[in-house]
Amino acid sequence: MYFEKDTTKHSSFVVLPVLSSAPETGVEIGGASLYSFYTDTVNHETKVSNIFAYATLTTKGQNRLNISTTYWSPQNKYHYFAGIGRIDFPTDFYGIGNNTHKIDADRLGQKRYRLLLEAQKLIAKNVYFGFVGGGYKYDFINTNPTGIFNNSPVVEDRKGGTFLFVGPSFIYDSRNNNTYTTKGMMVNASFNIMQGVLDNNSYNGGFLNVEFSKFISISKTLVLGFDVQEQSLVGSRSPFYLLPQMGNDEIMRGYYEGRYRDRNLLAGQAELRYRLSERFGIVGFAGAGEVFHSSFSLPELKPNLGGGLRYFFDIEKGLSIRIDYGIGQKPTGEQRESGLYIGLGQAF
């Protein structure tokens, strides 16, 4: 599969090793795997389904575990998603807002359990309607009593909490391929109605998530993609762990996830993808985004740009391994923000 061309609609399986090292974790080792398949090998319009698993363990006892599946029924009449994961891993908290400082970072012990469920039905051409549901459980430990995490008046629910959610979801999807899109667009919107449970039963709120993606085929080997995301936490309370966070391996690459967080997030990016050959591709990307409490401010937008390589290990499905390097702003008195990302599949 890695080196031979296969144009048939067979299933495929790939495994990647994970190896990293950091002072707070020691050596981290594990692996990621992706099993991809079609539920209908006759109808060429049926999108690719997959099962993804990820597991790592560190020499200091931390671990990360996740398994998820995306399922498209024959002729794309139904779309399902299910994911379950556990994280016992440290995270850095910098404060809340669009202008936090690296010197204020508090390292938190974090345990998170997550269950995500989605189901949508095709109700018109390219239009799906359904629901999302699931639950989270967060626990945090802070060993710095004098830091910003314990003393900032805007940090709510420091110990964490448990909650369930359910709500409607809407998808418009005219993409010609869901793994390597060259034309079409997608709108994915959902609203989570959240209710705290157990010792967190006084919490209720909501979370809005909207994503728009558009792809334009400039030539046979050149594609321009656009992606815009908006997230908002609604309700009278603002648990810090539910606040939208800017920066990850999909959008605003170059920013540490959680460096900037607040009740609202708006970010957009453009990516130019050039297919050098059936196996190799390169990309360049640029974007901007910000988090804000209630009012969006154009001068507060933070930039990012970067580039990357793609190796297509499954030509027929358009599945790839990607390596991206992104850079962001240079805060006053700090080094320029940047990040290196290695993953499976396109960023969006």
- List pLDDT tens digits, range 174-190: 999 999 999 999 999 99
Q: What is the token pair recorded at 142?
A: 């802070």
Q: Is residue 239 part of a domain?
A: yes
Q: Is residue 7 part of a domain?
A: no
The pLDDT of 290-318, averaged and rounded, is: 95
Q: Is residue 1 part of a domain?
A: no
Q: Is residue 73 part of a domain?
A: yes
pLDDT band at 340, cuts 50/70/90? very high
Q: pLDDT tens, 29-41? A: 999 999 999 999 8
How many structural domains are present in the chain? 1
Domain ranges, residue 141: 12-344
Q: Is residue 4 part of a domain?
A: no
The pLDDT of 326-331, averaged and rounded, is: 96
Q: Is residue 160 part of a domain?
A: yes
For residue 320, which of 225, 180, 198, 226 has the smallest C-alpha distance?
A: 180
Check: pTM over 0.95? Answer yes or no: no
pLDDT score recorded for residue 337: 95
CATH number, residue 254: 2.40.160.50
Q: Is residue 6 part of a domain?
A: no
For residue 348, which of 229, 191, 172 has the smallest C-alpha distance?
A: 229
Residue 113 contacts residue 158 (beta carbons within 8 Å): no
pLDDT score recorded for residue 5: 56
Residues whose CB is less than 8 angstroms from the CB of residue 174 and which lie 6 or more positions away in sequence, other chains included: 126, 184, 185, 186
Q: Is residue 3 part of a domain?
A: no
Residue 342 contacts residue 323 (beta carbons within 8 Å): yes
The pLDDT of 220-246, averaged and rounded, is: 97
